[in-house]
């Protein structure tokens, strides 16, 4: 469950007319904080981002569905399920399943949210997007590379 403060920040972003990816960024940010403070871990940065995006979808952020081009059928199905959960309203989660997920995440390393890991991930995503995207990011300034990586949602 995301913290109430994070949900409020995302709602404020929505009221200000900011994009769904900006709203979802609040949930991803929260996830990174959870990992850094040792609440749980993640196998890698991509998983940490995915957990945040899933929470965002379930909280009602209207993120677009992942593209078929570079996303597995399983991930697309999960994204649809998360969006559907938001429309159904909050039903009580399974205690057994929640505990299983929490225990599994606690076994994962905490390095997924380290500055080095985030930087490496951002650069990898930027590389995949190609030279044109990197050039545009460089024109936007120093935070442009990170922003372009975040935009892709990977």
For 10-35, the pLDDT digits (tens) are: 999 999 999 999 999 999 999 999 99
How many C-beta atoms surround the C-beta of residue 85 within 10 A? 17
pLDDT higher than threshold 70 for residue 142: no
- Asked whether the predicted pLDDT for residue 60 surpasses 70, the reply is yes
User: CB atoms < 10 A from the CB of 139, how many?
Assistant: 8
Share of the chain above pLDDT 90, in %: 64
DSSP the chain: ---HHHHHHHHHHHHTT--HHHHHHHHHHHHHHHHHTTS---SSHHHHHHHHHHHHHHTT--PPPPPSSSS-HHHHHHHHHHHHHHHH--PPPPHHHHHHHHHHHHTS-SGGGSHHHHHHHHHHHHHHH-HHHHHHHHHH-TTHHHHHHHHHT-
Kindly state the average pLDDT of the residues 91-109. Answer: 92
- Output the pLDDT for position 153: 56
Kindly report, residue by residue over 41-57, the tens digit of the pLDDT: 999 999 999 999 999 99
The tens digit of pLDDT for each residue in 127-141 reads 888 889 888 888 887
> What pLDDT shows up at residue 105?
95
pLDDT attached to residue 148:
57
Please tell me the total number of residues recorded for the chain in this structure.
154
Phi-psi region at 60: left, alpha or beta (left = phi > 0; alpha = psi -120 to 50): left
Q: What is the pTM of this model?
A: 0.81
pLDDT above 70: residue 61: yes
**Residue among 39, 31, 54 nearest 113 (CA):** 31
């Amino acid at each position: 469950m995301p913290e109430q403060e994070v949900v409020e920040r995302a709602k404020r972003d929505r009221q200000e007319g900011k994009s769904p990816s900006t709203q979802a960024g609040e949930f991803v940010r929260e996830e990174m904080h959870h990992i850094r403070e040792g609440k749980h871990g993640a196998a890698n940065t991509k998983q940490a981002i995915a957990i945040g995006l899933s929470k965002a979808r379930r909280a009602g952020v209207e993120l677009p569905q992942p593209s078929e081009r570079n996303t597995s059928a399983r991930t697309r199905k999960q994204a649809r399920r998360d969006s559907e959960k938001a429309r159904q309203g909050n039903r009580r989660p399974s205690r057994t399943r929640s505990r299983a997920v929490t225990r599994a995440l606690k076994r994962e390393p905490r390095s997924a949210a380290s500055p080095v890991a985030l930087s490496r991930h951002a650069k990898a995503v930027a590389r995949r997007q190609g030279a044109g995207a990197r050039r545009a990011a460089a024109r936007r300034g120093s935070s442009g590379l990170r922003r372009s990586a975040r935009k892709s949602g990977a």
